[in-house]
Structure 1
Amino acid sequence: RESEVVLTAKQGQFERALALSRNEEERRAVYKMRSKLEESLDGIERSIPAVLAAISLQNSIRGIKARRQRDTERQTAAATLMQKLYRGYVNRMELSEAQRKERMAAHVDRGEFDKAMTEAICKEEQAQIFLVAQHKAKKDQRSPILRCLLGPQ
C-alpha cells in the first residue's frame, strides 16, 4: 500500500496519493515530494503554451528515439540471423560439392565411368572423365563398359 502511495506521488498525482495515504507519515512523504517538485519548477510557468509544447516535443522525441533504438535492435538481430543462415548454407554447399567430387574420383578410380558421369555436373568434368575412359580403353581393349562411352568408331 505504501509503495502505491509513493508511486502515485512520483507520477505527480499528489491529491490521489494523499487520498490513498493512511497515516500521517505517508502524508508527510507526499507533501515532501510535492514541495521538492515545486522547488525544482520555481520560475517556470507551466501553463504557458510554449512550455507545454516543449514538454510535448520532448516526449515525442523520447518516443522516436526509443522506437528507433528498438528498430535498430530488430534489424541487427535480423541481419545476424540472415548472415548465420547464409554462412551455414555456403558451408553445406561447399561440403556437398567436396563430397560429390570425392565420389566422382572414386568412381573413376574403380573404372565405373557411367556412375562417374552421373556425378559430373559441368561439361569439363564430363570431358575429363571421357578422356580418362579413352586412356583406360587404349590400355585395355577388352573393356565392354567403355565402348558406350567412346562413341562410334
Structure 2
Amino acid sequence: MSDEESQDLDDSKLRVELMMAAKVQGDFDKAQSYAITDAERKEIETCRVRVQGLVGAKTTEQEVAAAKMQARIRGSQVREQKEKQKMEHAAILVQKSYRGHSERDNQEEQRRLTWLQWHLEQNEFGQALELAISKDERQRILTAKAKSEQPIWCRCLAWKPQTTEGRKEKFVAAIRNYDWEAAQLLAVGDDERKDLEDSRNRVAWMLHYTADGKYSEALALAITDEEKREIEGK
C-alpha cells in the first residue's frame, strides 16, 4: 500500500469516528455533515427519529449520562489517533534527514581521500598532512616524503635487479599500479621516460577532476577498467 493510499484509509477511519461520535452525542446535523453515502445518511436519520422518540418517552438520566460518556471516550480515541499520526510523520522526517546527512558525509570523505592521494602524487606532503585524520595516513605520508627526499644515487644503488628478463612487463605493471618510483627505475630510453611522465600527468589530472566532481572529464582520462569503475562509482 502506498503512502497516499494509507493516508486515504486513515482519513476515512477518522471521518467515520467523528460521524459516530456526533451521532452518539445527539448532534445529528453534525453527523450528517460527515456522511458521504446514502446508507450513512439514512442511518443517521433513523437514529434521530429513535432518539426523539426516546426523548418523548422521557429518557432516563442514566441513558443520557451513558451517551455522554460514550461520546467522551470516542472523542479521546480520535484525538489519540491524530496524535499518533503526527508522531509517525515526524519520525519519517527525522529518518529522511539522517539519510541525507549520512550520504553527504560519505561524499565529503571520498573527496578528502581523493585530494589526499592527489597531493601525494604531486609530492605536496604538507597539503596531504592537512587532510590526514588517522595515524596510518600520517605515517604513509611521512614515509612517502622521506622516500622523495632520498638522494637519487642512493635509490639507484638500492635497486639491484637480478635480471633484465621481463623488465618491460614490470615497467608497464608499475605504471598501471601508479608505482612511479619503480617505473622510473625500470624505464629505459627516452620513449619509456616520456610514457612515464605522460602517465603521471594523466593520473594527476584524473584524480584532480574526480576530487572536483568533474566525472566526465575524469572518465575521458581513464584508460583502464579499474579506473573507469572507480570514477563511475562516485
On whether the aligned pair clears a TM of 0.5, the verdict is: yes
Taking the aligned partners of 2:107 and 2:118, their CA distance within structure 1 comes to: 16
1:38 corresponding residue in structure 2: 49
2:111 corresponding residue in structure 1: 99
Indicate which of 65, 83, 102 corresponds to 1:53: 65
Range with greater deviation from structure 2 (35-44 or 131-140) = 35-44
Q: Which amino acid aligns with 1:38?
A: V
Indicate which of 135, 142, 149 corresponds to 1:130: 142
Deviation at 1:138, TM superposition (A): 2.6
Preserved CA contact (<8 Å) 1:46 1:52: no
Preserved CA contact (<8 Å) 2:129 2:138: yes
Write out aligned runs for 1:1-150 (5 A).
10-11=28-29, 37-39=48-50, 47-138=59-150, 140=152
Residues 1:139 and 1:118: Cα distance change in structure 2 (over 3 Å): same
Question: How many residues are matched?
Answer: 112
Residues 1:48 and 1:109: Cα distance change in structure 2 (over 3 Å): same
Matched position secondary structure for 1:11: helix
Deviation at 1:58, TM superposition (A): 1.4
Residues 1:78 and 1:140: Cα distance change in structure 2 (over 3 Å): farther
Please say which structure displays the higher CA radius of gyration.
1
Percentage of matched positions with identical amino acids: 25
Preserved CA contact (<8 Å) 1:107 1:115: yes
1:38-57: per-residue Cα shift (whole Å, max 9, x none)? 34676797632331222112
Taking the aligned partners of 2:58 and 2:144, their CA distance within structure 1 comes to: 92
Taking the aligned partners of 1:133 and 1:109, their CA distance within structure 2 comes to: 11
Range with greater deviation from structure 2 (45-54 or 110-119) = 45-54
Taking the aligned partners of 2:109 and 2:58, their CA distance within structure 1 comes to: 72
In structure 2, the gaps of 5 or more residues are 1-26, 31-44, 154-234
Could you say what the CA RMSD is over the residues aligned between the two structures, in angstroms?
2.9
Residues 1:46 and 1:38: Cα distance change in structure 2 (over 3 Å): farther
Preserved CA contact (<8 Å) 2:28 2:48: no
